[in-house]
Amino acid sequence: MSQKQITPLFWIASYPHSGDQLVRSFLQHLSKNFGYRPQDPAAIELLDRDLPWDALAHFYETVIGKHPRDMSEVEIAAARPKIHEHIAKEYPGLPVVKTHAPRAEFHGTMSVNADVSVGSVYVLRNPLMLAPIFAIAGGKDVVSAIKLLATSQYRQPTTDTHALEPWGSWTQNVMTWTTGSNPGDLVIRFEDIIADPAGQLGRVAEHLKMPVDKKQVKAAAKAAMKDHKIDGKPAQAAAWKGAMSPANARALVEVHAQQMSRYAYLTNDVLNYVGLTREVALNSSAKFEELSRMPVTPVGNA
């Protein structure tokens, strides 16, 4: 690796489908106010160029000299810190990087290179909404989606364009980015962004110390919402009920109640719908959290 000066990285981290695209679009629009690629528009199709995703296959080809399809899980895990160092030293985009990986060890290597990192924004979304979204996106039934969110140590397989990426379960992913009191970390809920785009995305801009004012933040938030065809009206809190039976939702809550409770997703309405007391739900999910702390082993994808 070259001896060029490091530009410390901020991470836009999330479990998939939690809203990272909206946050990245906002930052892309905002960057035009301080001269980033003024000749190019802020556009969704340019997000991976401007605010790169660390799982993109071309990074592995550039840094390691191999396509990730020709690499083992262990080799990909060992390559991740090198990819991050390359982005911090060589990449011409903004020093803001997307990842879906937990901030934890993966085959003995930390999945996020702390030596080139300065902070993170973790985007959180209600798993009761994520399950139907995954079902639709993957063309699967909601039970399969619930199983995916509960799969400890899940890895998304390599494709032509992306390297294998560890996701873990929803609970694992959330825990690794939100446990502790690192001042460089910001946690933000997708539901709060939708309810107050300028206010919540303004927190992101402030956290990243971007040289912009409130008027610019409001304009960038509005543009990002438009790009993603979000009308700004908060979704009904219980919209997931139309996609999941009480039994389905109960299976999800029994696994994730601890982290749901931390972020106000474990409401009385949820508990009444699934037929659980708060104590039973929390005790059940505590057992799953203990299992999720088991080390990663080289097994196939779920």
| Cα distance between residue 238 and residue 191, in whole Å | 12
| Token pair 């690796």: residue | 1
With beta carbons less than 8 A apart as the criterion, state whether 260 and 127 touch: yes
Digit-coded pLDDT (tens) for 238-296: 789 999 999 999 999 999 999 999 999 999 999 999 999 999 999 999 988 766 654 44
Residue spans per domain, the chain = 9-227, 239-292
From the list 123, 124, 149, 122, the residue with the least C-alpha distance to 244 is 149
What is the DSSP secondary-structure string of 44-63? GGGHHHHS-BTTBHHHHHHH
The tokens for 301 are 């994808």
What pLDDT score does 180 carry? 83
- pLDDT for 293 equals 59
Residues of the chain with pLDDT under 70: 1-3, 232, 234-237, 290-302
Question: Residue 234: what pLDDT?
Answer: 63
Dihedral pair phi/psi, residue 205, rounded to 5°: -60, -40
End-to-end Cα spacing for the chain: 34
What is the torsional sign of CA 109, 111, 116, 117? negative
CA R_g for the chain:
19
Residue range 9-227 in CATH 2.60.120.1030 = no
Question: What pLDDT sits at residue 294?
Answer: 46
